[in-house]
Amino acid sequence: MAVNETVKYGIIGVGMMGREHLINLHHLRTQGVVVVCIADPHLPSQQLALELAKSFDWPLKVFSGHQELLDSGLCDVVVVSSPNMTHYQILMDILNHPKPHHVLVEKPLCTTVADCRKVVNAARKRPDMLVQVGLEYRYMPPVAKLIEIVKGGTLGQVKMVAIREHRFPFLVKVNNWNRFNSNTGGTLVEKCCHFFDLMRLFAGANPVCMMASGAMDVNHKDEIYDGKVPDIIDNAYVIVEFDNGARGMLDLCMFAEGSKNEQEISVVGHTGKGEAFVPESIVRFGSRMEGRDGVQTLKTENRLIKYEGLHHGSSYLEHLNFLSAIRVKGAKTPAADLNDGLISVAMGVAAQLSIEKGRFVNIEEVLDEHNC
Ligand SMILES: NC(=O)c1ccc[n+]([C@@H]2O[C@H](COP(=O)([O-])OP(=O)(O)OC[C@H]3O[C@@H](n4cnc5c(N)ncnc54)[C@H](O)[C@@H]3O)[C@@H](O)[C@H]2O)c1
């Protein structure tokens, strides 16, 4: 696609995240981006998206399902931001459609490893399409800075990666889809795929085995939907062993509104330590040699960000990255690709299984074709 050619987008699922994509894409309008159509079966979501688009002067064609959107041939790129349990079928329909569409699919890629694998296999047959997975935490300025420090070798060989997410409970979603593991893949898949993805990046390695402990101890206990109480865990500790000897640890708490930061990341190598804090947007790093007095503190920002939105500008940078991959197709691959999507889901599935079984789970156990 030529650099000055207009890139036409369609958005499948225009709830909270789909509308966030719509606003982000509007901030990319000067780069030849336009959203031309949406698909969502829920009238209130359609209405809210239409109102937004009207304020941007973007007339939208509205469809109630993704198949009609694909058949319309109106767009070059689709953003899939529907609930997790719908990603698999929507992705397969996109990948099997005669018209090529580049795809940005929200995390998690799918809710099971088996479905992720089928999508990966189907995508292999479509070299005319790019697929990027919405693992956008990589782009948050303090996280991106810490990745740069780690990759620059300042900390030496990474040995330990600890990620703490202490935040508010899951928000209310359209038809409450996020209250059940069968729809989300489980909390450690649904949201923690972001952190497993970061651990792989920091460790520069792949997981070997995982051990987790977690439960639904505080949130959602008094909620009932169609006679069923939610089954999603709200806190967990997860330990990961990587194939280069590095270790990871996730500390998740979703009843921790009384926190200054939502995410605190610590990466320790054999010569130094780095930390990132979100939303304070601070990075600290120091060396064993210089000790506490040598620790540097940086306030991070990224001047490319034109819209902060709900995720500290990371959705904007994600779109910028994907747009440049689309424009130079073949010369550049998406930053977070299908394999990243698959492994981040597999790690979440392994952690959920570890809680269920009360034992270490080897990643091969969930990646094995015969088990999934
Ligand atoms: N990157 C992030 O940090 C981040 C943050 C929030 C949500 N998400 C992801 O975005 C996706 C959507 O989450 P949300 O918070 O917007 O949920 P939401 O409930 O607010 O919106 C989902 C929308 O999808 C629509 N929908 C349902 N089935 C559909 C189908 N088959 N085709 C088209 N639309 C359909 C619903 O009607 C609703 O309007 C999820 O996969 C979620 O995990 C990612």
- d(CA 144, CA 290) in angstroms, rounded, equals 24
CA of 154 to the centre of ligand 1 (A): 39
Is residue 219 scored above 90 in pLDDT?
Answer: yes
56 with 158, same domain? Answer: no
3-state secondary structure of 210: strand
193 lies in the same domain as 237: yes
Shortest-distance atom of ligand 1 to CA 65: 32
**What pLDDT does residue 328 have?**
87
Q: Which residues line ligand 1 (CB under 6 A)?
A: 12-18, 39-42, 45, 66, 81-84, 86, 106-107, 134, 136, 173-174, 177, 190, 311
> Looking at the 3D structure of the chain, how many domains does it have?
2
14-42 per-position pLDDT tens digit: 999 999 999 999 999 999 999 999 999 99
Cα-to-centroid distance, 343 and ligand 1 (Å): 21
For residue 134, give the ligand 1 atom closest to its CA: 1
> Do 107 and 178 share a structural domain?
no
Instruction: Return the CATH number at 26.
Output: 3.40.50.720
Return the pLDDT at 168.
98
pLDDT band, very low/low/confident/very high, at 370 (cuts 50, 70, 90):
low
Task: Of 348, 318, 315, 81, give the one whose Cα is nearest residue 192.
Answer: 348
* Residue 161 sits in the same domain as residue 251: yes
Ligand 1, residue 15: give the atom nearest the CA.
21
368 or 48, higher pLDDT: 48
* Ligand 1, atom nearest to 171 Cα: 15
Confidence of residue 368 (pLDDT cuts 50, 70, 90): confident
**pLDDT tens across 295-343, in order?**
999 999 999 999 999 999 999 999 999 999 999 876 667 789 999 999 9
Same domain, 117 and 197: no
Model pLDDT for residues 117-146, shown as the tens digit of each residue: 999 999 999 999 999 999 999 999 999 999
**What phi and psi values does residue 210 have, to the nearest 5 degrees?**
-140, 150
DSSP string, 102-163: EEEEESSS-SSHHHHHHHHHHHHT-TT--EEEE-GGGGSHHHHHHHHHHHTTTT-SEEEEEE
Q: Are the beta carbons of 12 and 39 closer than 8 angstroms?
A: yes
In a domain, 92, yes or no: yes
2 occurs within a structural domain? no
- For residue 90, the Cα-to-chain-centroid distance in whole angstroms is 17
| Mean predicted lDDT score pLDDT of the chain | 96
Kindly tell me if the per-residue pLDDT of 179 is higher than 80. Answer: yes
Here the tokens at position 273 are 């330590």
Say which CATH number the domain at 189 has.
Answer: 3.30.360.10
What is the rounded CA–CA span in Å between residue 135 and residue 198?
9
Tokens of residue 135, six digits? 């693992």
* Residue 261 and residue 184 share a domain: yes
Say yes or no: 180 and 167 in one domain: yes
pLDDT-derived band at 281 (thresholds 50, 70, 90) equals very high
The per-residue pLDDT for 372 is 52
pLDDT band at 4 (very low <50, low <70, confident <90, very high): confident
For residue 51, is it within any domain?
Answer: yes
- Kindly report whether the global pTM for this prediction surpasses the value 0.85: yes
* Residue 100 DSSP class: -
Domain that holds residue 356: 138-307+344-366
Residues 148, 124 within the same domain: no
Query: Residue 289: is its pLDDT beyond 90?
Result: yes
CB 133 within 8 A of CB 366: no
Q: How far is CA 9 from CA 22, 60, 201, in A?
A: 9, 10, 29
- Pair (188, 291) in one structural domain: yes
pLDDT attached to residue 335: 84
Residues 229 and 348 in one domain: yes
Residue 167 CA to ligand 1 center (angstroms) comes to 20
226-255 pLDDT per residue, tens: 999 999 999 999 999 999 999 999 999 999
Average pLDDT over residues 350-371: 92
Asked if residue 371 belongs to a domain, the reply is no
Range 335-370 burial, b when 16+ CB lie within 10 A, else e? bbbbebbbbbbbbbbbbbbbbeeeeebebebbbeee
Q: Does 286 share its domain with 148?
A: yes
